[in-house]
Amino acid sequence: MKHSKPDNKGLNIIIVGCGKVGATLTEQLCKEGHDITLIDKNVQKMQSLSNLYDVLAITGNGASYNVLKEAGVEDADLIIAVTNSDELNLLCCTIATQVGNCAAIARVRTPDYSAEVEYLRGRLGLAMIINPELETAKEAARILSLPTALEVNAFAQGKAEMAKFRISEGSILDGMTIMDLSRKIITARDKKANIIVCAIERDGEVYIPSGNFEMKAGDLISFVASSKNTRLFMEAIGMKSDRVKNTMIIGGGRAAYYLASCLLAVGIEVKIIENNAARCEELSGLLPKASMINGDGTNEELLKEEGIEYAESFVPLTGIDEENILLTLYAKQVSNAKIITKINRITFKDVISELDLGSVVYPRYITAETIIAYVRAKKNSKASDKIETLYHMFDSRVEAIEFLVESESAVTNIAFKDLSLKKHLLVSFIYRKGRIIIPTGQDCIHVGDTVMIVTTHTGFHNILDILEEA
């Protein structure tokens, strides 16, 4: 059964590559009402997607001028190249920008190229270069810096964080209302942990909580704060806020390299177990401070020998989802480690959530969200603001959207208490001149502010979307 598109006019978008990322982009962008043309050499993959969505599928090489012309590149608004080849992606986008007037986004995963992103963008005229493995590593590193959290995401150029955790039995938050939170949660230094609870999931339902909402044990809580206040708050409610001291990584692929680089840079000890001897040798040269073990990371005896029982964190990054899941379940049995599980392909989210894998990262969704944020901003190019960041929460039932307000509009210079805001929506923070402001009813939006909205409404393109329609 095909998914229907909204009536609003979308962009003409060409997607080259119908792998995991390409398929996810096709699903998301079709939902948002865009006209999608797919290019791939794999007829079966394209047929599968064209059976599900209203798309045009063209078989061929995305770097071929004739194939691109057949796909309508001369009239396209955007081309997104996400094949498995960095070089093909770059070439495809370069040709497209030369023969058409479209913007171009390329997936580039090789570390050598990633170090030259700004140069490549400028020289090749690309709108964006994305690296799923690097972004996955950054997300994992943020979680390991706050190990009691299930998710940690950065906003406002890294000045603000959104963290998610589960309220445990016996927590001081159990039975507490949102209204009482700021009054009761005070650190030992008598400084308020200035945070805002922006979304709560309970028994499969998601809430944008009001002041009288009562939190309970078992609730999944997402809150926003400055980096400093994130840790103050976690300490105040009795949860560990110190980063891990060491980690064990299984698999020596690109994601492992990027993650190890991030962790070593902040003084976290890293041990990588990789089966391929040549790759071990290569990584030893690239990461001289890491401990490299050449062996089978799925071997129970080897894991015990290398100290899995005592590791503070454990991150399986093999290329096989099933292996990552089994390794996670094993680590939970034999250790108290903070565990992060990477899932590339498996789509059974309900099953995965029942397994209680802890923190789970999905590279393809990270990539898709970055691109969708760009697409919404491009569609909204004549508006008084632009989307900086888009983040989907709670299985895409909630969106966190970061808007940069570039000119005056119906939402600027008016106190929030006097604005007619949509229900099920929360203004989580204002980023102004390097400072994070958790807003009250007296605050207002100024030109130049970055504003983050959390809402159960999906598909916002414009800051004006926060207002109730007249």
**CATH fold for domain 368-466:** Alpha-Beta Plaits (3.30.70)
Say if residues 102 and 74 touch (Cβ distance below 8 Å).
no
Q: What are the strands of the beta sheet with 78-81, ordered from one edge?
A: 55-59, 35-40, 12-16, 78-81, 103-107, 128-130
12-130: which CATH number, 2.160.20.60, 3.30.70.20, 3.90.850.10, 3.40.50.720? 3.40.50.720
Reading the block at residue 91, the tokens are: 């070439």
Q: Under 8 Å CB-to-CB from 67, ≥6 apart: which residues?
A: 39, 58, 60, 61
Give the pLDDT mean for 218-222. Answer: 95
pLDDT at 191 over 60: no
- Does domain 246-361 match CATH 3.30.420.40? no
pLDDT value at position 113? 76
Based on its alpha-carbon atoms, the radius of gyration of the chain, rounded to whole angstroms, reads: 23
**CATH fold for domain 137-236:** Alpha-Beta Plaits (3.30.70)
pLDDT digits over 382-429, tens only? 556 788 888 888 888 899 999 999 999 999 999 999 999 999 999 999
Matching residue, tokens 């939902």: 31
Helical H segments across 125-215, by residue range: 132-145, 178-184
36-50, 110-124, 138-152: which has the minimum mean pLDDT? 110-124
Reading the block at residue 465, the tokens are: 């979307």
Phi, psi for residue 78 in degrees, rounded to 5 = -155, 140
Domain ranges of the chain: 12-130, 137-236, 246-361, 368-466
Please give the model's pTM, rounded to 2 decimal places.
Answer: 0.86
∠ Cα 25 256 121 (to 5°)? 50
Q: Under 8 Å CB-to-CB from 113, ≥6 apart: which residues?
A: 86, 90, 120, 129
Q: Kindly state the percentage of the chain with pLDDT values over 70.
A: 93
Phi, psi for residue 56 in degrees, rounded to 5 = -100, 125
Cα separation, 123 vs 136, whole angstroms: 26
pLDDT digits over 446-470, tens only? 999 999 999 999 888 889 999 998 6
pLDDT digits over 290-314, tens only? 999 999 999 999 999 999 999 999 9
8-state DSSP, 150? S
Q: What average pLDDT does the chain have?
A: 89
Query: Do 246-361 and 368-466 fold alike per CATH?
Result: no
Q: Under 8 Å CB-to-CB from 296, ≥6 apart: which residues?
A: 273, 275, 302
Q: Max Cα separation, the chain? A: 68
pLDDT band at 185 (very low <50, low <70, confident <90, very high): low
8-state DSSP, 116? T
pLDDT digits over 331-387, tens only? 999 999 999 999 987 666 667 777 778 899 988 888 888 898 888 888 766 556 788
SS3 255: helix
DSSP string, 393-457: ETTTTEEEEEEEE-S--TTBTS-GGGS-BPSSEEEEEEEETTEEE---TT--B-TT-EEEEEES-
Residue type, 35: D
